[in-house]
């Protein structure tokens, strides 16, 4: 814990050089100071994206975006039997924790972004799926890059959905290249 406190000082210093912060919580204790990290970044006007783990989302209070998959969200909110029930549960969670948004990744159903007063659903791009490992990492990384480049959240989510569709069509740990994203966008235009 004390080692992590010294790393918090490094984080504070490096924050001045960041356009966006991505925190991926693997539940191993490495983000013991995550609440402080989020608060520092938000105070500096830097968006914070969190890939959550566990069932205590209060740790992520104030984040710009939290990106659970369906199973991770279900562990926190309980199940739902309709889109309206899902929307109500996510919006309550978002409001209670002061989250800018919650992006639920839904595998073959695509992804749904919940923000104050609105909901954007982006369907999955139909393609053959070979390997879903890394899809969530691809989504959050793509959103981070797009926000840092000046895109708005909805555009970033749409591009991240395309990136996820590409990466699941590859075997193993894969990357998405800009040319692939552009080609995908042109095919859908």
Residue 25 falls in the annotated catalytic set = no
Q: Which of 25, 51, 56, 137 is catalytic?
A: 137
Length of the chain: 189
Q: Are 164 and 105 in contact (CB under 8 A)?
A: yes
Cβ(177)–Cβ(53) under 8 Å? Answer: no
**Residue by residue, what is the 3-state secondary structure of the chain?**
CHHHHHHHHHHHHHHHHCCCEEEECCCCCCCCCHHHHHHHHHHCCCCEEEECCCCCHHHHCCCCEECCEHHHHHHHHCCCCCHHHHHHHHHHHHHHHCCCEEEEECHHHCEEEEECCEEEEECCCCCCCCCCCCHHHHHHHHHHHHHHCCCCHHHHHHHHHHHHHHHCCCCCCCCCCHHHHHHHHHHHC
Which residues are known to be catalytic?
137
């Amino acid at each position: 814990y004390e080692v992590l406190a010294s790393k918090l000082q490094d984080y504070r210093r490096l924050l001045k050089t960041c356009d966006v912060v991505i925190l991926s919580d693997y539940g191993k204790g490495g983000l013991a100071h995550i609440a402080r990290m989020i608060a520092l970044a938000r105070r500096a006007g830097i968006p914070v994206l969190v890939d959550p783990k566990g069932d205590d989302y209060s740790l992520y209070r104030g984040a710009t975006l939290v990106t659970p998959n369906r199973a991770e969200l279900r562990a926190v909110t309980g199940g739902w039997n309709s889109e309206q029930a899902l929307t109500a549960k996510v919006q309550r969670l978002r409001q209670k924790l002061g989250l800018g948004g919650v992006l639920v990744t839904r595998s073959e159903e695509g992804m749904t972004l919940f923000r104050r007063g609105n909901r954007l659903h982006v369907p999955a791009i139909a393609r053959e799926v070979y390997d879903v490992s890394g899809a969530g990492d691809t989504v959050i990384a793509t959103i981070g890059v797009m926000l840092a480049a000046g895109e708005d959240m909805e555009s970033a989510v749409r591009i991240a959905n395309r990136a996820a569709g590409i990466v699941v069509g590859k075997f193993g740990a894969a990357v998405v290249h800009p040319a692939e994203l552009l080609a995908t966008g042109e095919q859908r235009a």
